[in-house]
Structure 1
Amino acid sequence: MTEPTGLVSERGAEQVSDAPATAETPPPSQPSQVTFTVYQGPPLDTIRSLVASHFLVKDAFIDQYGIPTIQVAAEPPHEKFRTLLKELAQHNLIGAIRGAGDTLTVRVFPKPQRKGSRKTLNLALFFATVATVLAAGYFNWSNADLFTVLVEPSSVLTKASLFAVGLLAIIGLHEFGHKAATNHHGLDATFPYFIPGPPPVGTFGALISLRGPPENRDQLFDLGLSGPVVGFIVTIVIAIFSLLLSTTVSPATAQQLITGGATQDLGFCLPLVGATPNVSCEAPLLLIVGRILMPATTQGSLLFPNQELWFAAHIGALLTFLNIVPAWQLDGGHVSRAMFGPSGHRTATLIGLVILFVSGYLVFAFFLLIMMNLTRRGFAGVEPLDDVSPVSNSRKLLYLLAIVMLLLTFFPSPIL
């Protein structure tokens, strides 16, 4: 899917797919993201022996889809199944484990073939996005004549460049947070695909594409949370730099700016100290950073954070919020799917959509609904190969971090 910034799964033959179950795809009880070719591999007895070296086998057969299926006694499968996956990989196979009650079911498929790298496209989209973000910055500050003369007398191109550096650092490092998680777990993923966009932001974010399903819920959790955590931290850093580069103006100049409408023309939330900020349209995260780090001013003076970097941080907080919403295949959706399984993920997606509608992000909410319909998979999220083992206790605690980030980056849409 296309999302503001985040991790997605490639669709298409022999790749992570959103296609419904057919004669050539696993039925719903299997990892339905994965479209595999017809099984052509070692005989059933060989696969049974591999599975039997780790689990107590109850039955082994070829199901109606031609897929080798091994039923085993229920037990915690996490480490045993990871070892089995490595052994299956030596035969160019991959497995999935599902189950309930006293029986687990292991199904074995041909390993999906890797697609070639498309680094040329990655680079082309990156440079196109640099251009559109620069253009957006130029557009934003080309009309701020009074503010430029009295507060920040640098050229419009300098302002646009500073905005582009700040925003692309947030988006790019968010994506490389995902990439670092895939590398840590030995998963194959593309480099980021940046998405150009129109002013005033200049981009719709970026995404990386996962070329195969994660092994277990721990990996899915890490893949979902890693990007927002990095983006959240970089957003704070950019906001701090904005405050370090702040400008204080005299009472007379402040009055001239207010009378001339310069502060309103900028259109940014919390643009200064010494005036009442519009709390309703700024993320609590940035309000907190501003209150802690902004120096005091004399009576009547106004203090402006560097507006280019502050606006970049503002957009960074917005993107973090939209990504951490626990819906569908957003980053927050991956985290909730790992935490709560299929049924809990559907509930979380409904909650996420309600959050988006109530807070005014109607276009984004409708976009998600359209994507759910187009992929014909409804609320279903990315499924790990081992969908039996729960996430680790440490990750259950880290889920609180996702909630905190959601709360600290939330602010209603300006259209409300």
Structure 2
Amino acid sequence: MMLANDITADVELVRSMVAKYFSIYDVKVSYESVKMLVRPDETMLESNFESLRQDMKAKGFVPIISYSGGEHAVTVMRLPQGKKRNLWINRSLLVITFLTTTLAGMLLWSDYSGSPEFLTVDNILNGAVFFAIPLMAILGIHELSHYFMSKRHKVDASLPYFIPSIPPFGTFGAFISMRDPMPSRRALVDIGIAGPLGGLAVTIPVALVGLFLTANGHAVEGTIGQAGAMYVVIQPLYQLLSLLVPMADNMALHPTAFAAWVGFLVTAINLLPVGQLDGGHVARGLLGDKAKYLGYATFIALILVAMLYDGWFLFALLVFFLGLNHPAPLNDISKLPKRTLALGTAGLLLLTVTFVPQPIIMVTPDYSFEMTALGGNNTTVAAGGMAVFQVFINNTGNIDNDLRLTLEDVPRNWSASLFLSNSSAVDATNVLDLSLDYKTNATVIVQVQLPGDLSEITRDISLVAKGTGAEKVQVLTVSVV
């Protein structure tokens, strides 16, 4: 019985197929492969090898051409049998991912519009139209660009597989499965760069639409909330596009603009020149085996930028386990045309305008505030008189703050109270609860009534302000004459 990868029974068939395109002067047979030393026509090497690859693919074989020690060799092995395709998987993942991105869009739209209702028809439609559809279009065109370029190079590839996830994105992206080995370095560059270029062709108009909707939307109001907030860092190319759409500062990012931001992020990730990423394909095609050093450098760079954003560390681990090196194509010796060199180089340079070291910034609530005595914190008063201080309190945090103000260390027989400057002294109290909204301030009046029988003396009174996670003390000095 012949095993699946046994090629010995087909040596003559393999030899005759290779001889159709190359002059053979030696044959070496092993259990899994037939290696033939050949004399190729250098001007026809790439086209002849591609024709041989197509002929052999039809017969269930795969050829590899190499050059070593001054000799060209064609090695032929059996083509591994692929699994039967099931388009229901692609279709099911497409539907599920559309639903999860719509859910993410509903959350984004609800937050953007300030709608108190979540499960409404309007919210569902807006989530789908303004986020799910633009994002799915970006990801879909990205992968279909790979797919059709693969077809152009006669490389068997699957239709896109979408990966659903939880909000805020609703998806981990999409991918296609390559069912044939990469035939050449040119195919590596063309197929690898097709996805990012196709994705950008959709991302850029989506970004412009998103910026227009953002400019005609509403400004961010209020604070970040007790749970904190997530801010996205706009990529350089996105910043350049924003110059075409003037808008006021502090505008709330429209969900469509966020979909474009995700598109630029996906492009940057895919362009990283390491492993089996699109950038890894392109780098291997441009640099050959030397691309592995660029891959190692990229992996180290991801570890370093993980100090700014820990998400890069998880991605670096994923890249590491998937493999830092890219396998060689079947034809790793043909030189690249100038057009392919220029296209691949320009494609990798897109990484510089789509990558940001810290794409997401998580902002935690900051309840800090400042307290300052206006006109100084000391005063001189005659016995029986009243000392008056003005204390300015400024909310320097990023959230509304509730403070409780009290007076401590008040000497015996002295009377001290406080009230807001915009209220009356009749409202004076020993304990004042003060609500300071974000970016607001208040002035508190502190009045100290002295007994009439005092001799010369100096005393310190403490105005204590306590808030969430913060406490400040303003010392007020009263000198009696």
Give the secondary structure class of the aligned counterpart of 2:108. Answer: helix
In the alignment, residue 177 of structure 1 is paired with which amino acid? S
1:351 aligned residue (289, 293, 297) = 297
Partner residue, 1:48: 15
Distance verdict in 2 for CA 1:240–1:259, change over 3 Å: same
In the alignment, residue 348 of structure 1 is paired with which amino acid? L
Distance 1:191 1:331 in 2: 16
In the alignment, residue 52 of structure 1 is paired with which amino acid? A
Distance verdict in 2 for CA 1:163–1:347, change over 3 Å: same
Partner residue, 1:70: 36
| 87-96 vs 348-357, greater mean Cα deviation | 87-96
Distance 2:166 2:149 in 1: 30
In the alignment, residue 133 of structure 2 is paired with which amino acid? V
Partner residue, 2:356: 411
Runs of 5+ consecutive residues of structure 1 not aligned to the other structure: 1-23, 25-35, 270-280
Partner residue, 2:255: 308
Give the secondary structure class of the aligned counterpart of 2:326. Answer: coil
Give the secondary structure class of the aligned counterpart of 2:176. Answer: strand
Q: CA deviation at 1:352?
A: 1.8
Partner residue, 1:294: 245
CA RMSD in angstroms comes to: 2.9
Contact 1:138/1:157 (<8 A) preserved: yes
Q: CA deviation at 1:109?
A: 1.7
Q: More helix by proportion, 1 or 2?
A: 1
Partner residue, 1:209: 177
Q: CA deviation at 1:90?
A: 5.0
Aligned 1:79-90 pairs, distance under 5 A: 79-89=47-57
Distance 2:300 2:181 in 1: 28
Q: CA deviation at 1:302?
A: 5.0
Distance 1:168 1:37 in 2: 41
Partner residue, 2:342: 397
Runs of 5+ consecutive residues of structure 2 not aligned to the other structure: 363-481
Q: CA deviation at 1:194?
A: 0.5
Q: More strand by proportion, 1 or 2?
A: 2
1:383 aligns with 2:328: yes
1:183 aligned residue (127, 151, 158) = 151
Report Cα offsets for 1:39-93 as digits up to 9, x if no partner: 155334x433433343332311213x44211012466321221222233345432
Partner residue, 1:20: none
Structure showing greater Rg? 2
TM-score (norm 2): 0.66
Distance 2:211 2:320 in 1: 41
Distance 1:363 1:288 in 2: 25
Distance verdict in 2 for CA 1:103–1:175, change over 3 Å: same
Q: CA deviation at 1:138?
A: 2.1
Give the secondary structure class of the aligned counterpart of 1:95. Answer: strand
Q: CA deviation at 1:336?
A: 0.7
1:174 aligned residue (142, 146, 151) = 142
Distance 2:201 2:228 in 1: 29
Aligned 1:9-408 pairs, distance under 5 A: 37-39=5-7, 41-44=9-12, 46-63=13-30, 65-73=31-39, 76=42, 77-89=45-57, 91-144=59-112, 146=114, 155-161=122-128, 162-248=130-216, 254=219, 257-259=220-222, 267-269=230-232, 281-291=233-243, 293-295=244-246, 304=251, 307-342=254-289, 344-360=290-306, 362-370=310-318, 372-373=320-321, 378-408=323-353
Report Cα offsets for 1:354-404 as digits up to 9, x if no partner: 33233335444544545644x6xx433133211221322211111232233
Distance verdict in 2 for CA 1:184–1:139, change over 3 Å: same
Distance 1:294 1:50 in 2: 60
Q: CA deviation at 1:307?
A: 0.5
Distance 2:84 2:296 in 1: 36
Distance 2:292 2:310 in 1: 19
Distance 2:144 2:74 in 1: 33
Give the secondary structure class of the aligned counterpart of 2:193. Answer: helix
Distance 2:122 2:16 in 1: 71
Give the secondary structure class of the aligned counterpart of 2:301. Answer: helix
Identical amino acids, percent of aligned pairs: 30
Contact 2:35/2:75 (<8 A) preserved: yes
Report Cα offsets for 1:177-206 as digits up to 9, x if no partner: 111111212221111110011111111001
Report Cα offsets for 1:74-120 as digits up to 9, x if no partner: 66321221222233345432211112241012111223334322110
Q: CA deviation at 1:176?
A: 0.6
Distance 2:221 2:238 in 1: 23
Distance 1:228 1:92 in 2: 32
In the alignment, residue 19 of structure 2 is paired with which amino acid? A
Report Cα offsets for 1:105-140 as digits up to 9, x if no partner: 211122333432211011111111111111122223
Q: CA deviation at 1:235?
A: 1.0
Give the secondary structure class of the aligned counterpart of 1:126. Answer: helix
Distance 2:169 2:242 in 1: 22
Distance 1:260 1:381 in 2: 47
